[in-house]
Amino acid sequence: MINIIFSEEYKNHDTGNHPESIKRIEVVNNLIKEDYSNHNLIEPSTADKKLISLVHDIEYVNYIFDSIPTSGFNYFDPDTIASPNSLNSYLLAVGGSVDAVKKIIEDNNKKNVYFCAHRPPGHHVEKNKAMGFGVFNNVAISAEYAIRSGKFEKILIVDFDVHHGNGTQHIFENSKNIFYASSHQYPFYPGTGSEIETGTGNIFNCPLTAGCDSKTFRSLFENKIINKINNNFDLIYFSAGFDAHKLDPLASINLENEDFYWVTKIVLENLANNVPIISVLEGGYDMKGLLHGLNNHLKALIEYSNE
């Protein structure tokens, strides 16, 4: 059994005619309710400014709070939109990601698995800049909270979203305790993610050229990430984006449904030694690709939790 943190509230984060749409979370929530209702379903809590400012500048946090429109839309950048109810989603996405850490600590760091079905995504968000549809970096805040708790010594974040998580990398590139590994189309948005970006030896980038197929992806991921990471971790995150699927309109990587099972499985088999797992939803903008990619990811997480 796994734990799934999700909320109907995310349907109220209206982005209009936008790839990061309400439709995405409807697909995710319907999958959870139809196929995974026998698992532990949890409503996320609401984060406060103090929690968010673990990684984001407080001036930036205040700016986001003060910029929520009373009607219509506000644009933090051309791609990142707020509507009157968006703040609730922003705060639940952070709160739910941290809830997973709190519950793992309460359970004495046992091999529990959490999937956080949040929106908007957050891995592009810098310390003081909204980017890539998101305003707060859900995974980064959660991982920083985990490290500061003193209950975890080394944390790994594995990001298989098709876009490089520039925000997560920049937040942790000088860390000795938090490692970041990413496979992503390159060169591509947001322009970061070269193999030469290695931080303090804690950054592992696996660039994929446009048109990359399953076989090439699996070979590169194994060689550039799995075989290069020689540390033991006591908490592993997934930044789980499904926009590397062959159907996705925002990128040019041609992964199949089963590749999302494979990438989850190989990380768990090689880098997770019976440690807790937190997976947080990132991208995925074709509804079939999102549905089938996520379903395969969840199957691998469930198998790990049952071992």
* Count of all residues that appear for the chain in the document: 307
Q: Quickly count: other Cβ atoms within 10 Å of residue 63's Cβ.
A: 15
Annotated catalytic residue 124: yes
114 alpha-carbon distance from chain centroid: 12
CB 24 within 8 A of CB 242: no
* Residue of 124, 184, 245, 292 marked catalytic: 124
What distances in angstroms separate CA 147 from CA 4, 59, 189, 245, 283, one per listed residue? 22, 23, 29, 32, 25
Which parts of 130-165 fold into alpha helices (H)?
138-148
Q: How far apart are CA 206 and CA 194, in angstroms?
A: 8
Q: Decide: helix, strand or coil at residue 27.
A: helix
Q: How far apart are CA 243 and CA 65, in angstroms?
A: 29
For the annotated catalytic residues, the residue numbers are 124
